[in-house]
Structure 1
């Protein structure tokens, strides 16, 4: 079951974020603007997790974590919007996606692993976005993951979303990169399965089956605990 967190009152920001600011910082043309117009009602900077609001020291390049609430116009949000916001904001972001439902608003947590670029510290490297399930906004929220630093808090928040746990001794970055490989390999398996269903030629089916078994074996190796 997906978890929503009880963000500390001391971390409250409650500031509206103008789209123009995001486009000034991240660029973007008509296609991404159209996604914002169709899918996003408003964006709020809800919380700022840093040393004075959570009493945890910076470490490992993480000195603050933002929590943004995105109020949606409908039920879905394209990952390209999340990637665009992450590009505009240098700090790690936890997104709370909010949609209207008959019994009250529902919230989904989403986030991508983000780190400073080793080639250019002013730039960030962001991987895939992972999402939880929709949860009623009025449901009781869980306390923040226990941590000794902001990097540890960031790790706990991300791992609450990730579908595969860390291997023994695996760093947060290594786990994130393995999950990225899992996502890519999973898409390869799905693509081969689709091709197989659409192929009538026996020889071609045999070849695709061989490729599919290899792709499934690679995916199994990536998702194994050790």
Structure 2
């Protein structure tokens, strides 16, 4: 359960119009803000000034946003836009029908533009009562708090068999890169399996099955 000190509370409502009126967004993304989101609240600021923790080298401040939804899903491009425009790391708490999902992206500085970020991968929990969210404030500095939030939300996706046996953790970047490769392989395996099932010619089936074996071996190496 996420229980944050009172010193971190910010509790400011952010008009969603600020995002789609002041930024260059497509009509489709504009509709996502209007139709899918009821309200956005900036709930907490996690920083050295609000917590008794050390500064981070990569994460200077971690924000907690609560997004109240009009439906049980949100176009992920909305989060990508918010993360791109706000130069801080963000933990999202989505609320719909009294239940919550925690979302967080692996956010890095953009090499193309100063003071902007890029997020390649998002992780999220299932829909749960708020007090059942697998979140806890854990870490001696802002970097480690952010790292632990990602690992808590991602769960087994960022834990390999080798890590679980040895107890040693890969760096967050390495764990995320491995997971991205794993997710890509899963899509490739599914695509080849569909081709195998639909292919009528035996010789082509053999080639596809050979390709499938190689992909599955690569998957075993990553897990």
- TM bin (shorter chain): 0.7 to 0.9
**What TM-score does the superposition give when structure 1 sets the normalisation length?**
0.85
- For residues 119 and 131 of structure 2, what CA distance do their matches in structure 1 show? 31
- For residues 43 and 215 of structure 1, what CA distance do their matches in structure 2 show? 42
> Tell me, which stretches of 5 or more residues in structure 2 are unaligned?
none
For the pair 1:144 / 2:137, whether they are aligned, the reply is yes
Equivalence for 2:177: 177
Residues 1:30 and 1:221: Cα distance change in structure 2 (over 3 Å): same
Equivalence for 1:134: 127
Larger CA deviation: 44-53 vs 27-36:
27-36
Which of the pair is proportionally richer in helix? 2
Matches within 5 A, 1:23-172: 23=20, 27-100=24-97, 105-139=98-132, 143-145=136-138, 147-162=139-154, 163-165=157-159, 167=163, 168=168, 170-172=170-172
Shift of 1:97: 0.8
Residues 1:25 and 1:90: Cα distance change in structure 2 (over 3 Å): farther
Shift of 1:159: 0.5
Moved over 3 A (4+): 23-26, 118-121, 138-143, 166-169
Superposition RMSD in Å: 2.2
For the pair 1:21 / 2:13, whether they are aligned, the reply is no
- For residues 174 and 61 of structure 2, what CA distance do their matches in structure 1 show? 21
Residues 1:26 and 1:148: Cα distance change in structure 2 (over 3 Å): farther
- Of structures 1 and 2, the one scoring higher in RCO (CA 8 A, sep 6+) is 1
